[in-house]
């Protein structure tokens, strides 16, 4: 079943067209990587799906529903959530609170004005599970700004997972990570993709090829390649634009 | 020695300490008028700080909610001789409605644009009130007589005694502090906190940021209205100046001097501001110069206000 469909999507920043006539379909359960050189429009593409940037023209459908230019919180509530390339965590909150706030967003307690937030223990238990999944156990009460860079990346991922979306957009999940942290993250993404649809922007080609069942290549806002990793590796246009002949 | 006492100092203790402080205060200070005024301003400051400190938006038109609360009280007392409690509730209601309208129109803006919009709406109402001299009394204002606190069939207590009036206002002060304390610690309050910290992230988590901000703004207006009704009862007078930007400026200064980081900062700010305006102004006509100087010093060197400095000196103990 098609979960996300993008039709003739365009995005112009003034005279620069960052996304040009992108036409893509993603199936439920797929783990697809979006690759391309810097400035190819990968992050812009994600931000448009998430509703953080308005489309110049074209349509985006999620579960057969038109979500083009819907406000971000509504898109999130329909079941899409992203991680950010430039970390976007709540720095002054503890790891536990960061995760708990993502869980609270899908609870019925958001408009509870009077009870202490920590009264609802089930949310903290769920948060604990997520923290375990992203390998941050033992760091629950650390304030986010005191975490190492790799840990912050894990937290970024944890917040998005805690929102429990059906479609996860990962924007460079391993950027700046140490080697063994990357191995952990690969395992985690594999585990996530068993239950969810994952779209991933990634520069680490090793990660891309070890994880993806499909790769979409963007160059200057256009799709220049789309298919299973093997086909992409052999594609001449892709080689020229990006891979430089691996 | 003192460090030991403060070892397990938490929010509940601060609440109890301020409770005790304000219970003892009228028996130490002889000028009850001023300390009652301080309480009303403290309510104003706390509710204003809900926007500035917790949502991170500087409203420069909070006099509108304070003043509309005060005017509602005065007009209802003059024309309908209502029960004070009805006047208080009505004042809060009117202020909240103003806050809802202004908030709805300006909450999507940020920073200085938000401040300017809230300021313009407040000034608009101020000039309308100034024009409607027959109703509002214009610059000359309206005088009221303070009716007794009366619950039909139960009791009727005169509020002419300064001590009784003080504790009447004190009751609402503690109530506000308690309710807003619960509010900022509630799931709703936590959402305000993450919106202030990282609005985009809050949106991607499915929080409708504008709705949360608007509710906070209305709550802030509601309690500012309460402060206005009480202030009207204390001074037995209301005039257009209560709606003017100078009043909005007062609460900004109060809150910044006291500290925006917590609910308690504005209380300290209210004490300092009221003390300065009531005592220093007797000693020196140009007392505003002193206030300005203090304000500049705080903005330059003590960004977190008096409360921030107290917290710093007790670091690790709170």
Residue A37 to residue A184: CA distance in whole angstroms? 25
Q: How many CB atoms lie within 10 A of CB B154?
A: 6
Return the structure tokens found at A83. Answer: 């991680």
Q: With beta carbons under 8 A apart, name residues in chain B contacting A93.
A: 193-194, 197
Task: Reply yes or no on whether the pLDDT at B25 is more than 80.
Answer: yes
* Residue B56 structural domain: 31-245
Give A114-145 pLDDT, tens digit per residue.
999 888 899 999 999 999 999 999 999 999 99
Binning pLDDT at 50, 70 and 90, where does residue B3 land? Answer: very low
Strand bridging mode A57-62 / A2-13: antiparallel
Taking residues B147-154, report their average pLDDT.
88
Same domain membership, residue A116 and residue A69? no
Task: Check: CB of residue B249 under 8 Å from CB of residue B288.
Answer: no
SS3 B38: helix
Q: Which of residues 120-159 of A touch B (CB under 8 A)?
A: 120, 159
Tell whether B201 is within 8 A of chain A (Cβ): yes
Tell whether B204 is within 8 A of chain A (Cβ): yes
Give domain status of residue B172, yes or no: yes
Q: With beta carbons under 8 A apart, name residues in chain A contacting B223.
A: none
CB–CB of B190 and A109 under 8 A?
A: no
H/E segment holding residue A219: strand A214-219
Q: Residue A30: what pLDDT?
A: 94
B10 φ, ψ to 5°?
Answer: -130, -175
Same domain membership, residue A246 and residue A169? yes
User: Which of A102, A109, A111 has its CB closest to that of B205?
Assistant: A102
Give B244-271 pLDDT, tens digit per residue.
999 999 999 999 999 998 899 999 999 9
User: Which of B183, B187, B206 has its CB closest to that of A163?
Assistant: B206
User: Which of B182, B200, B205 has its CB closest to that of A52?
Assistant: B200
Alpha helices per DSSP H over chain B? 2-5, 11-28, 32-49, 63-80, 84-106, 111-131, 133-136, 162-185, 187-197, 199-204, 209-235, 245-258, 265-275, 281-283, 287-301, 305-313
Give domain status of residue B92, yes or no: yes
Q: With beta carbons under 8 A apart, name residues in chain B contacting A114.
A: 179, 182-183, 186
Give domain status of residue B209, yes or no: yes
First CA to last CA across chain B, in angstroms? Answer: 16
* Residue A136 structural domain: 91-164
Q: How far is A159 from chain B (nearest CA, A)?
A: 8
Instruction: Please tell me the total count of domains within chain B.
Output: 1
Tell whether B29 is within 8 A of chain A (Cβ): no
Binning pLDDT at 50, 70 and 90, where does residue B291 land? Answer: confident
H/E segment holding residue A62: strand A57-62
User: Which of A50, A101, A115 has its CB closest to that of B186?
Assistant: A115
Binning pLDDT at 50, 70 and 90, where does residue B154 land? Answer: confident
Give domain status of residue B14, yes or no: no
First CA to last CA across chain A, in angstroms? Answer: 33
Give domain status of residue A117, yes or no: yes
Give A139-170 pLDDT, tens digit per residue.
999 999 999 999 999 999 999 999 999 999 99
Return the structure tokens found at A191. Answer: 């585990």
Q: Residue B40: what pLDDT?
A: 97
Return the higher-pLDDT residue of A205 and B7.
A205
Tell whether A87 is within 8 A of chain B (Cβ): no
Give A56-104 pLDDT, tens digit per residue.
999 999 999 999 999 999 999 999 999 999 889 999 999 999 999 999 9
Q: How far is A137 from chain B (nearest CA, A)?
A: 22
Alpha helices per DSSP H over chain A? 42-49, 72-78, 95-104, 121-133, 149-162, 179-193, 205-211, 229-234, 236-238
Please give the DSSP secondary-structure letter assigned to residue B263: S
Q: Residue B288: what pLDDT?
A: 83
Place of tokens 């029960």: B83
Chain centre distance of CA B86 = 20
CB–CB of B186 and A76 under 8 A?
A: no
Residue B95 to residue B70: CA distance in whole angstroms? 9
From A164, A190, A207, the end of a domain falls on A164
Same domain membership, residue A191 and residue A128? no
Binning pLDDT at 50, 70 and 90, where does residue A245 land? Answer: very low
From A112, A143, A164, the end of a domain falls on A164
Instruction: Please tell me the total count of domains within chain A.
Output: 2
Which of B125, B108, B298 shows the shortest CA–CA distance to B228? B125
Taking residues B186-200, report their average pLDDT.
95
User: Which of B201, B206, B215 has its CB closest to that of A106?
Assistant: B206
Give domain status of residue A213, yes or no: yes
Binning pLDDT at 50, 70 and 90, where does residue B315 land? Answer: low
Residue B255 to residue B269: CA distance in whole angstroms? 6
Give domain status of residue B82, yes or no: yes
Taking residues B196-208, report their average pLDDT.
95
Q: Residue B317: what pLDDT?
A: 52
Residue A93 to residue A162: CA distance in whole angstroms? 16
Task: Check: CB of residue A73 under 8 Å from CB of residue B203.
Answer: yes
Binning pLDDT at 50, 70 and 90, where does residue B318 land? Answer: very low
Task: Check: CB of residue B153 under 8 Å from CB of residue B83.
Answer: no
Residue B51 to residue B141: CA distance in whole angstroms? 29
Residue B299 to residue B260: CA distance in whole angstroms? 12
Give domain status of residue B19, yes or no: no
Task: Reply yes or no on whether the pLDDT at A246 is more than 70.
Answer: no
Q: Strand order in A31-35's β-sheet?
A: A80-83, A167-171, A197-201, A31-35, A214-219, A222-227
Residue B144 to residue A153: CA distance in whole angstroms? 62
- CA-to-CA dists, residue B134 to B64, B69, B72, B213, angstroms: 19, 18, 15, 36
H/E segment holding residue A170: strand A167-171
Return the structure tokens found at B36. Answer: 């009652």
Beta-carbon contacts below 8 Å between A and B = 94
Give domain status of residue A84, yes or no: no
Q: With beta carbons under 8 A apart, name residues in chain B contacting A120.
A: 187
Residue A139 to residue A230: CA distance in whole angstroms? 40
Burial class (CB in 10 A: 0-12, 13-18, 19+), B163: exposed
- CA-to-CA dists, residue B218 to A14, B104, B177, B222, B242, angstroms: 39, 10, 16, 6, 19
Which of A34, A36, A165 shows the shortest CA–CA distance to A105? A165
H/E segment holding residue A25: strand A16-27
Tell whether B203 is within 8 A of chain A (Cβ): yes
SS3 B72: helix
Residue B102 to residue B89: CA distance in whole angstroms? 20
B211 φ, ψ to 5°?
Answer: -65, -40
Q: How far is A19 from chain B (nearest CA, A)?
A: 22
Give domain status of residue A172, yes or no: yes
Q: What is the CATH number of the domain that holds A50?
A: 3.40.50.300
Tell whether B15 is within 8 A of chain A (Cβ): no
The ipTM is: 0.91
Give B115-130 pLDDT, tens digit per residue.
999 999 999 999 999 9
Task: Reply yes or no on whether the pLDDT at B4 is more than 60.
Answer: no
Q: Residue B304: what pLDDT?
A: 87
Task: Reply yes or no on whether the pLDDT at A205 is more than 60.
Answer: yes
- CA-to-CA dists, residue B86 to A189, B100, B136, B149, angstroms: 60, 21, 20, 11
Q: With beta carbons under 8 A apart, name residues in chain B contacting A97.
A: 190
Give domain status of residue A205, yes or no: yes
The pTM of the full predicted model, rounded to 2 decimals, is: 0.92
Same domain membership, residue A172 and residue A53? yes
Taking residues A170-199, report their average pLDDT.
92
Return the structure tokens found at B217. Answer: 């703004």
Q: How far is B194 from chain A (nearest CA, A)?
A: 7
Across A97-106, B145-154, B190-199, least confident range: B145-154
Q: With beta carbons under 8 A apart, name residues in chain A contacting B185.
A: 116-117
Strand bridging mode A80-83 / A167-171: parallel
Give A32's strand partners.
A199, A214
Give domain status of residue B148, yes or no: yes
Across A165-174, A200-209, A229-238, B259-268, least confident range: A229-238
CB–CB of A105 and B206 under 8 A?
A: yes
Give B70-112 pLDDT, tens digit per residue.
999 999 999 999 999 999 999 999 999 999 999 999 999 999 9
Give domain status of residue B133, yes or no: yes
Residue A130 to residue A159: CA distance in whole angstroms? 9
Give A30-58 pLDDT, tens digit per residue.
999 999 888 889 999 999 999 999 999 99
From A135, A164, A193, the end of a domain falls on A164
CB–CB of A93 and B197 under 8 A?
A: yes
Interface test with A, best of B15, B185, B193, B205 (most A CBs within 10 A): B205
Same domain membership, residue A197 and residue A103? no
Q: Please, what is the average pLDDT of chain A?
A: 92
Which of A220, A237, A233 shows the shortest CA–CA distance to A38? A220
């Amino acid at each position: 079943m098609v979960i996300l469909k993008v039709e003739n999507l365009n995005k112009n920043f003034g005279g620069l067209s960052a996304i040009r006539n992108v036409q893509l379909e993603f199936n439920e359960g797929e783990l697809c990587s979006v690759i391309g050189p810097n400035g190819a429009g990968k992050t812009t593409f994600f931000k448009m799906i998430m509703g953080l940037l308005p489309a110049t023209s074209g349509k985006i459908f999620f579960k057969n529903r038109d979500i083009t230019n819907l406000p971000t919180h509504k898109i999130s509530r329909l079941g899409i959530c992203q991680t950010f390339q430039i970390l976007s965590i709540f720095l002054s909150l503890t790891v536990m609170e960061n995760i708990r706030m993502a869980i609270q967003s899908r609870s019925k307690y958001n408009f509870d004005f009077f009870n202490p937030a920590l009264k609802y223990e089930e949310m903290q238990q769920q948060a604990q599970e997520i923290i375990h999944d992203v390998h941050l156990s033992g760091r629950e009460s650390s304030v986010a700004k005191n975490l190492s860079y790799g840990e912050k990346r894990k937290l970024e991922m944890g917040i998005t997972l805690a929102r429990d979306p059906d479609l996860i957009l990962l924007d460079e999940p391993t950027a700046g990570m140490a080697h063994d942290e990357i191995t952990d993250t690969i395992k985690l993404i594999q585990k996530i993709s068993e239950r969810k649809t994952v779209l991933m922007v990634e520069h680490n080609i090793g990660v891309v090829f070890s994880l993806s069942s499909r790769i979409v290549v963007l160059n200057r806002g256009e799709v220049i390649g789309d298919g299973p990793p093997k086909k992409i590796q052999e594609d001449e246009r892709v080689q020229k634009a990006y891979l430089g002949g691996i | 020695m003192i460090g030991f006492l403060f070892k397990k100092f938490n929010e509940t203790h601060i609440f109890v300490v301020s409770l005790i402080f304000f219970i003892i205060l009228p028996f130490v200070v002889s000028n009850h008028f001023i300390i009652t005024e301080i309480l009303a301003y403290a309510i104003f400051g706390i509710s204003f700080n809900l926007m500035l400190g917790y949502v991170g938006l500087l409203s420069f038109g909070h006099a509108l909610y304070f003043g509309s609360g005060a005017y509602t009280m005065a007009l209802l007392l003059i024309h309908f001789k209502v029960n004070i409690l009805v006047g208080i509730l009505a004042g809060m209601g009117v202020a909240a409605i103003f806050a809802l309208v202004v908030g709805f129109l300006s909450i999507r803006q940020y920073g200085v644009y938000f401040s300017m919009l809230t300021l313009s709406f407040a000034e608009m109402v101020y000039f309308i009130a100034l024009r409607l001299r027959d109703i509002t009394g214009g610059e000359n204002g309206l005088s009221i007589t303070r009716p007794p606190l009366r619950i039909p069939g139960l009791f009727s207590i005169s509020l002419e005694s300064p001590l009784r009036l003080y504790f009447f206002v004190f009751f609402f002060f503690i109530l506000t502090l308690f309710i807003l304390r619960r509010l900022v610690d509630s799931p709703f309050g936590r959402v305000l906190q993450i919106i202030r910290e990282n609005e985009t992230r809050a949106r991607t988590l499915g929080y409708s940021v504008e709705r949360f901000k608007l509710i906070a703004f209305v709550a802030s207006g509601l309690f500012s209205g309460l402060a206005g009704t009480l202030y009207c009862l204390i001074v037995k007078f209301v005039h257009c100046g209560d709606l003017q930007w100078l009043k909005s400026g007062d609460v900004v200064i109060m809150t910044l001097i006291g500290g925006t980081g917590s609910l308690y900062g504005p209380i300290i700010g209210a004490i300092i501001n009221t003390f300065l305006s009531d005592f220093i102004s007797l000693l020196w006509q140009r007392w505003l110069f002193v206030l300005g100087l203090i304000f500049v010093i705080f903005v330059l060197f003590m960004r977190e206000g008096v409360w921030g400095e107290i917290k710093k000196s007790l670091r690790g103990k709170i």
